[in-house]
Amino acid sequence: MMAQAFAERLRTALPAVALTPRTESGLMPAMVITVAADDWAALGAAAHGLGARWSACWVDPEPDHWRAWVLYEQGGAYVLAQTVLDPRAPRLPSLTPVFAAADRPERAIHDLLGVVFEGHPDTRRWLRHQAWRAETHPLQPEQPLAGAPPARTPADVGYPFRRMAGDAVHEVAVGPIHAGTIEPGHFRFATVGEQALTLETRLGYTHRGVEKLAVGRDAAGLLRLAARVSGDSTVAHAWAACMAIERAAGCAVPPRALALRGLLAERERVANHLGDVGAIAGDVGFSFAQMQFGALRERWQRRSAERFGHRLLMDTLCAGGVRTDIDLEGTRALLQDHARLRAELAPLTAILLDHPSLEDRLVGTGVLSAADAQVLGCLGYLGRASGLTFDLRRDAPYPPYDRLPVRVPRYDSGDVAARMRVRLDEIGVALELMDTLLAALPPGPVSTHWEAPPAGARGLGLVEGWRGETLAFVRFGADGRVARYAPRDPGVFAWPALERLLPGNIIPDFPVCNKSVNGAYAGCDL
Amino acid sequence: MLRILHRVITTGTLTEPLDTSAALESLGIEVRRTLGARFAGSFAIRHVDAGSCNGCELEIHALGNPYHDLERFGIRFVASPRHADALLVTGVVSRHMQEALLRAHAAMARPGLVIAAGACACDGGEFGASYASLGAVDSVLPVDVRIPGCPPAPALLLRGLLAALGRETG
């Protein structure tokens, strides 16, 4: 088993620490290792030394003590490290000095739970603006859901953005409300003339308290919430949450349901890529492609509504399976759609890849180096355009992908053009996968009986969403109620990447850079 | 260029006529008052995501695709609330967006309609009120038109916008 070998390498790299890797059924395929809080940083350094990727970190305020978790991945093998924290004074060595990707997630944990990350290079707040006070941490169990907010929450005007000095430098502040129809966030540029020297992003505007709202919900309630963590990734988050609760409960999902989940996830991928390719073209004034891809996406969404009951595929999954089956006629309709989409994409792709004015705007714009992508742990199309091809469907396959060969596109130029090409390629791959899934849909039911596990059961869900590796951790309390839900959207790694790829580009190219990266706002703000 | 023209010609017109016979009530769209013909011919909307999951935004984008072609009705999205006749608000009002939403509304010329689109904006939806959220838009601003749905499909959004315009209040 790959995870075992990874855990063994970690053990060898840390001879001074007695590591005993073990498995826990709910947390498979990851190996679990327990360390003392004092060894947290040493373990992180060892993982870094082995070339592992920092995937996620969350803290679970269990009744007796708190537990911190960090997930490392290397070559598709996962190790999940845990340590116990004192709830009266929760402290943990920061991993940010070793893994840049841990920066904002650790700050978010501090804001919500009050865990102090010692040695964190940036002690500014992240998710907290002015709705609660610095000494209040709303996710702590004793804090009421309603909190004690002011009647009118003031704007977070005092946030200490990094400043650039220099006579010619000026700042451009954008947001939270942007010019177009887009989620809210604040961007602070330091520019000289038209050229951006730095960009700092500030999120948290769509913080809705997802993790707090999950506490006390049953499985169905949790899945409704998971489906709305990020509206463009509703299948990905719902599937990750399903996987977590099903592993926690030891629930065996029927093969047909798993195949249909794969189909839904690929449909979500195609819909988003169609929209994004059009929007990237639209952001540089190529409205022909924007309209063409907008029409393709509309037809795709209509078919989703017709066959699965929802244009964005919300609430199509349930604990133990999926809600909707597909009959022979539906299968034929989908296969025809796939063939038609392929036929329509071929000439459009030829135009997109060979249009001088488009090339002029997209090639060499917003270059994310392979080194930066690696350091920041970039996933999905963002990583694949900069040479990183990690894909759970191929590298740590879960059903139904364990039976399917998944091609993963890779480009090395790291620019907007590459991120658009990855999307186009991934549409092709998704169509192949869906054809294969539909050609051999396993017979049988599309869901199984769901029975909640006893208190204390916990599970980990990991799926390849359209943005990349999407995670959910769930721990159950009494009566089948959720005690902790920690989702992690891959968009978390996109925002720091946007900050690294923008300097040197002109401000008018920011929208297309941003769209090509497409980090989630709501998915990160929770 | 020829390839593009060829594609444009072979694509033809995809825009669908709007069936205006259906009653708004049956669609769940709630119009608070008769809004009159004040905006006939030109209606400018400033959209504000006050704490949405991004689902509503995707469907608002779809209003611009060739099938729906919102602009044929003289309705367009504008960047500044000062140019807007209506504020289209999606999502619960997160506390972190409260001030921005109020300022956008204050910047509008009066009467400055407020349209709440989507379950969260209409009644709090899946998120409701909490330490992080004020819930529905009407906890912060008077709402003139409510368009339900999670998210509302583009056709439903279109109806709601036409209702706000006063074109379809019968």
pLDDT exceeds 50 at position A513: yes
State pLDDT tens for residues B29-82: 776 654 555 666 688 999 999 999 999 999 999 999 999 998 888 889 999 999
Question: Which of B4, B51, B68 has its CB closest to that of A208?
Answer: B51
CATH value at residue A426: 1.10.645.10
Q: What pLDDT does residue B170 have?
A: 42
Mind telling me how many Å the CA of B36 is from chain A's nearest CA?
26
Nearest residue on chain A to B101, judged by CA atoms?
A177
Q: What CA–CA distances, in Å, run from A163 to A178, A184, A198, A285?
A: 22, 22, 9, 32
Bridge partners (DSSP) of residue A457 are none
> For residue A277, what pLDDT band results from cuts at 50, 70 and 90?
very high
Question: With contacts defined as CB-CB under 8 Å, which chain B residues touch A356?
Answer: none
Residue in the structure block whose two tokens are 């089956």: A325
Total domains, chain A: 2
A450 and A336 part of one domain: yes
pLDDT one-digit tens code per residue, A173-230: 998 999 888 999 999 999 999 999 999 999 999 999 999 999 999 999 999 999 999 9
| For residue A78, pLDDT beyond 70 | yes
The pTM of this model reads 0.95
Averaged pLDDT for residues A293-311:
97
**C-alpha of B148 from chain center:** 11
B161, B144 contact by CB (below 8 A): no
A351-396 residue pLDDT tens:
999 999 999 999 999 999 999 999 999 999 999 999 999 999 999 9
Tokens (6 digits) for A151: 């009647």
Q: How far apart are CA A29 and CA A41, in angstroms?
A: 23
Strand locations in B52-143 (E): 75-77, 86-90, 113-117
Express each pLDDT in A404-432 by its tens digit: 999 999 999 999 999 999 999 999 999 99
Tokens of A519: 């980090």
Residues A383 and A238 in one domain: yes
B10 at interface of A, judged by CB pairs closer than 8 A: no
Are A250 and A360 members of one domain? Answer: yes
* Mean pLDDT, residues A59-85: 96
- pLDDT > 90? residue A20: no
A437 dihedral zone (left: phi>0; alpha: psi -120 to 50; beta) = alpha
Give dist(CA A195, CA A189) in Å, integer.
Answer: 10
Q: Which residues pair with A472 in a beta bridge?
A: A461, A487
Q: Is residue A151 part of a domain?
A: no
Domain boundary among A69, A92, A118: A118
Closest by Cβ to B55, choosing from A153, A182, A312: A312
pLDDT value at A473 more than 70: yes
Query: A104 and A215 share a domain?
Result: no
Residues of A in contact with B54 (CB under 8 A): 183, 230-232, 520-523
- Yes or no, beta carbons of B62 and A298 under 8 Å apart: yes
pLDDT over 70 (residue B141) = yes
Q: Is B91 within 8 Å of B56 (Cβ atoms)?
A: yes
Q: Name the domain boundary from A90, A118, A146.
A: A118
CA dihedral B101, B105, B107, B111 (to 10 degrees): 170
Q: Could you check whether the bond before residue A176 is cis, i.e. omega within 30 degrees of 0?
A: yes
Would you call B56 and A154 a contact, using CB atoms and an 8 Å cutoff? Answer: no
Beta-carbon separation of B55 and A143 below 8 A: no
State how far the alpha carbon of A181 is from the alpha carbons of A107, A373, B48, B87, in Å. 28, 28, 7, 12
- Arithmetic mean of pLDDT over chain B: 88
Phi, psi of A506 (to 5 degrees): -85, 150
Q: Note which residues in 103-162 of chain B have CB less than 8 A from chain A.
A: 103-104, 125-133, 150-151, 153
With respect to residue A183, please indicate whether it lies within any of the assigned structural domains: no
Comparing CA positions, the residue from A59, A75, A56, A55 lying closest to residue A67 is: A59
Q: Which H helix or E strand runs over A374?
A: helix A370-376
Q: Round the CA-based radius of gyration of chain A to a whole number and report it.
A: 23
Residue A283, in any domain of the structure: yes
Q: What is the pLDDT of residue B21?
A: 59
Domain enclosing residue A36, as ranges: 2-118
Mean pLDDT to the nearest integer, A222-239: 98
- In this prediction, residue B110 carries a pLDDT of 85
- Written as six digits, the tokens of A295 are 């029409």
Mean pLDDT of A274-298: 96
* Residues from chain A contacting residue B59 (CB–CB below 8 Å): 311-312
Encode burial over A29-66: b for 16+ CB neighbours within 10 A, e otherwise.
bbbbbbbebebbbbbbbbbbebebbbbbbbbbbbeeeb
Distance CA B106, CA A382 (A): 39
Candidates B53, B72, B77, B90: best to mutate against A (most CBs of A within 10 A) is B53
β A482-488/A53-61 pair status: unpaired
**HSE (side-chain half, CA atoms, 13 Å) at A197:** 14
Indicate whether A282 and A415 sit together in one domain.
Answer: yes
User: A108 CB near a chain B CB, below 8 Å?
Assistant: no
Subunit contact B96:A298, Cβ cutoff 8 A: no
Task: Establish whether the linkage from the previous residue to A397 is cis, with ω within 30° of 0.
Answer: no
From the number of C-beta atoms within 10 Å of its C-beta (0-12, 13-18, 19+), residue A407 rates as middle
CATH code for position A113: 3.30.460.80
Contact A72/A63 with Cβ under 8 angstroms? no
List, in order of start, the domains of chain B with CATH numbers: 28-165 (3.40.50.12280)
Is the confidence at residue B169, as pLDDT, over 60? no
> Are both A346 and A461 inside the same structural domain?
yes
**Closest alpha carbon to A470 in A459, A484, A460:** A460
Put simply, the chain A residues between 332 and 391 with a CB less than 8 A from any chain B CB are 347-348, 350-351
What letter would DSSP give residue A453?
P
Q: Would you say A433 and A365 are in contact if contact means Cβ atoms under 8 Å apart? A: no
Task: State the amino acid at position A277 in one-letter form.
Answer: V
Q: Give the chain B residue whose CA is nearest to the CA of A130.
A: B96
Where does a domain end: A103, A118, A133? A118
pLDDT for residue A124 is more than 80:
yes
Query: CA quadruple A328, A333, A337, A343: dihedral positive or negative?
Result: positive
First-to-final CA distance of chain B: 46
Q: Which amino acid is at A217?
A: R
- Kindly state whether residue A166 falls inside one of the protein's structural domains: no
Residue contact B130–A182, C-beta within 8 A: no
Of A154, A181, A521, the CB nearest to B61: A181
Phi, psi of A56 (to 5 degrees): -170, 160
Side chain identity at residue B60, one-letter code? I
